[in-house]
Amino acid sequence: MKIALVSVPAGELDVDALAVPVATGQRLSGPAVELDRAMGGVLAEMVATAEFRGRIHEVLPVPAQGKIGPRRVILYGLGSLHDLDGQRMRSAHHELVRASRTYGYKRIAVLRTDAVRMDALKAVVEGCVMGTFERRSRQTGPQPERREIDELMLVGFGSGREHELVAARENGEATNRAREWQNAPPNELTPEALAQEAMRIAQRHNLEVEVLGPAELKTGGYNLLIGVASGSAKPPRLIRLRHRGSPSPLSGEGGSVRAADAAGRGAGSPSGAAASSAGGPVLALVGKGITFDSGGISLKDPDRMADMKADMSGAAAVLAAIDVIASRKIPLDVMAVVAACENMPGPAAQRPGDVVVSADGKTVEIVNTDAEGRLVLADALTHALRNGATHILDLATLTGAATVAIGHAATAAVSNDDSFWATVDMASREAGDRVWRLPMYADYRILLRSQIADLRNSQYGEAGCILGGMFIGEFAGGKPWAHLDIAASSWNTNTELTTVLRGPSGAGTRICIELAELMAGAER
């Protein structure tokens, strides 16, 4: 889809449809008033008589009958201006483009009115690009024609903003890549296939890459990851990509790259002291990559088990994000770390009651094998710290309790550092991807205790979303760390929550990109 800023008057555009945003309870404004006058007042009449109410996701095509250049005018809703945040702005434009594709429009334009601020360009473009997403079908028979929009014109957003447009497009496309990975069947997107995706990203940008298999994991003491994977015939992978964006103190240029070996396995790790080549911050984006989660011996309810192909949504977000971070050459050292495996009830599966020694030496009692995400992330955080991470953001479909706590409309979060959290929170606002921080009271810490080990992985009795995050935080090494529980926000299964887009969302992808941008800006 070609996207361009144009200065031609909206009524003169040669397009299939001209989209006009309308907020609930608001009249037509700005250039839409002149457009309506040219059409004989039909648009204002439809708004005044509540034929079109401006509700979020409401889309109504109106024939122009040759009175203006566009063949149709599309009224599309933003909902209440009071409720219009970045997430809803993107969602409204996602639905606009999805509907336009359904109608078969090839060339559309979006007209900025007073309801859409000038600084909303990023949200508009990202939302429109996200609206091009369509789940890939594996059906073998004749397929319905996939309708695409060839050209999108943006009217009234000014000129000279092409760099913003390009960046927003990259963010939207990265979100869609994460959504496609989320939707991939688990027999296709195995731990090894996820590692291959990472290798392709590394090769595309000449990144440092490391993929550890079972032998290397055993040598490194990554027993929590090994334990979760032990019930599966698919071997685990611990994946690390590194973008060295800080200037080298010797060369003054971007950090050097260590390419992968032929198999991408067992490449030597820098020591924990090898942080940024310039001594600056090193951001680790850590993703849970459970490519299928049966629950292990603590077997899940079979009614919803097919949804567990998306238990690698955290991994999808961080891989899609570092692809953009490296492409954009953001001047910050950033690594993506993914703990990838299946959680299956095979003959060698770990048992409730087992005690396992983590990579950082803490002992963990396995109370519930279905609380596996925090286990693999614990070892993944240790791997990030061993490779010089100074700040850590982990993303995981971690707990059903996140759905209970705040539902599908936002991501639940915890953090051990107010300053770092403020940056993560700002990144979420820039990304239009809501997060809500929950408290980590000291009183909760006693609930993590085991009578026979340093920690237990489940059955805390209350505050399950918080304690799942607190468990991971025990392995952050005292570094600034934040945890995003995207269990609900990464995929909306609630058919009644119609103002939140259904299906995979790519939650966290744009947050990771914006966080890297903000941290890089702070270092300049």
The residues carrying an active-site annotation are: 300, 374
Residues 266 and 284: their CA atoms lie apart, in Å, by 20
Contacts for 368 with CB less than 8 Å, ≥ 6 apart:
298, 352, 457, 458, 459
CA 442 to chain centre: 30
Are 397 and 288 in contact by the 8 Å Cβ rule? The answer is yes
**44/116 Cα distance (integer angstroms):** 18
φ, ψ of residue 480 to 5 degrees: the values are -60, 130
Residue 307 three-state SS = helix
For strands 107-111 and 151-155, give the pairing.
Answer: parallel
The answer to whether residues 10 and 109 touch, using CB atoms and an 8 Å cutoff, is: yes
Residue type, 434: R
DSSP character string of 260-305: --SS-BSPPPPPTT---TTS--EEEEEEEEEEEE--TTSPPPGGGG
Residue 118: exposure state from Cβ atoms within 10 A (0-12, 13-18, ≥19): exposed
DSSP codes joined into one string, 487-520: TTTTEE--TT-TTS--EE--TTHHHHHHHHHHHH
Alpha-carbon distance of 320 to 121, in angstroms, equals: 22
371: closest CA among 346, 340, 350, 393? 350
- Amino acid at position 294, single letter: S
Q: Which residues, in sequence order, are CB contacts of 126 under 8 Å at separation 6+?
A: 90, 93, 168, 169, 171, 172, 175, 432, 510
Residues, the chain, total? 524
